[in-house]
């Protein structure tokens, strides 16, 4: 399966046109991380990027505590896209050899300007994620 088709099957990008998906892939960078590598470091304010796993696995951690696990199609780092000067809230560590698609804050703004549907779709998915987190915290 190619990257465009893969993106179309993820929660964040499903429902976008093939042209919009191609725009995302054309703007994003692919990065690979070996198992054990830190992808995001807690407290770091640089690297305003958001990551979508194309393959492999990763964990969000605070100290020794695992907060979340990620596999192909999952994403993390989205707060850095939306909020300026927000430090990373956790470490994200590759638990397997991992390949990610990385979209920077600046690239996302350009994408949304050219393809507003991308922004609408992402906002809906991020709102769903926030709702799910809120429900989990209430339980």
Superfamily of chain region 3-138: Jelly Rolls (2.60.120.10)
pLDDT at 57: 98
CA atoms within 13 Å, Cβ hemisphere of 135: 6
Instruction: Tell whether the model's pLDDT for residue 124 goes beyond 80.
Output: yes
pLDDT at 80: 66
pLDDT at 11: 81
Percentage of residues in the chain having pLDDT higher than 70: 89
Can you tell me the distance from the alpha carbon of 25 to that of 27, in angstroms, rounded to the nearest whole number? 5
Helix (H), strand (E) counts: the chain: 5, 8
Span 58-114, pLDDT tens digits: 999 988 889 889 999 998 887 766 666 677 778 899 999 999 999 888 888 888 888
How large is the greatest C-alpha to C-alpha distance in the chain, in angstroms? 42
pLDDT at 96: 97
Give the predicted TM-score (pTM) of the model.
0.81
Provide the 8-state DSSP code for 90: S
pLDDT at 30: 94
User: Residue ranges of the domains in the chain?
Assistant: 3-138
Report phi then psi at 71, rounded to 5.
-130, -175
Instruction: Tell whether the model's pLDDT for residue 51 goes beyond 80.
Output: yes
> Which residue from 26, 10, 16 is spatially nearest to 115, judged by alpha carbons?
16
pLDDT at 83: 66
Measured CA to CA in angstroms, residue 137 lies from 9, 65, 67, 133 at distances of 28, 17, 13, 6
């Amino acid at each position: 399966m190619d990257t465009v088709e893969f993106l179309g099957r993820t929660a964040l990008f499903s429902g976008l046109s093939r042209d919009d998906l191609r725009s995302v892939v054309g703007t994003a960078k692919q990065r690979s991380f070996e198992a054990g590598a830190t992808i995001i470091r807690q407290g770091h304010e640089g690297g305003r990027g958001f990551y979508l796993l194309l393959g492999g696995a990763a964990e969000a951690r605070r100290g020794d505590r695992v907060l979340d696990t990620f596999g192909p199609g999952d994403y993390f780092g989205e707060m850095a896209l939306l909020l300026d000067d927000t430090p990373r809230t956790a470490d994200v560590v590759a638990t397997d050899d991992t390949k990610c698609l990385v979209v920077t804050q600046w690239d996302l703004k350009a994408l949304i300007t050219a393809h507003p549907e991308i922004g609408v779709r992402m906002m809906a998915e991020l709102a769903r994620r926030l709702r799910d987190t809120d429900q989990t915290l209430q339980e």
